[in-house]
Amino acid sequence: MNLWLEIIIIVLIGTIGNLLFKIGTDGFGELSFQSFLTKEFFEKAFTSKFGWIIFVSLVVNFLSRVLIMSPLSKGKYGITWSLLTPLGILFSIVTGYFLFHETYTIREILGVAMAILSVFLMGGVSF
């Protein structure tokens, strides 16, 4: 399989895992570090649908991490991670915009544009 296609599939799977994690987390309401130590948190984590959504998200994210082994075995460590990370940022921004109706500042959009440019430069894509 083409290395680029592998990376895109891995980022998509990771984005799905992150999306599920966000949905599950939202079901708990606002959390603090102290809330993780409460009995109520653990009861909700193991009995509510949101706890199960988070569990599924962890399995999906684990799958994406296992699949990362393929491009890592074929490419340079630094370049491979440097392609995965900005693509993950791009997919997360698009997901946040369309699914959660998040808005972004010009500065944030410029940051994403720079991340995309880095993918083109490091991935050897010619203009």
User: pLDDT tens for residues 67-118?
Assistant: 999 999 988 888 888 888 889 999 999 999 999 999 999 999 999 999 888 8
pLDDT classification of 43: cutoffs 50, 70, 90: confident
Is residue 120 pLDDT above 90, yes or no? no
The one-letter amino acid code at 43 reads: E
Is residue 127 pLDDT above 70, yes or no? no
Note the pTM of the prediction, 2 decimals: 0.84
Is residue 125 pLDDT above 60, yes or no? no
pLDDT at 74: 86
The mean per-residue pLDDT over the stretch 2-12 comes to 90
Integer angstrom CA distances of residue 79 from 15, 39, 41, 76, 109: 20, 44, 40, 5, 23
Distance, in Å, from the CA atom of 126 to the CA atom of 120, rounded to the nearest integer, reads 7
Distance, in Å, from the CA atom of 67 to the CA atom of 104, rounded to the nearest integer, reads 31
Q: Name the strand (E) or helix (H) holding 113.
A: helix 106-122
CA nearest to 25, candidates 62, 58, 2, 1: 58
Phi-psi region of 101 (alpha: psi -120 to 50; beta: other; left: phi over 0): left
Degrees, nearest 5: CA angle 65-17-4: 55
Give φ, ψ of 27 to 5 degrees: -65, -20
pLDDT at 11: 95
The mean per-residue pLDDT over the stretch 18-32 comes to 92
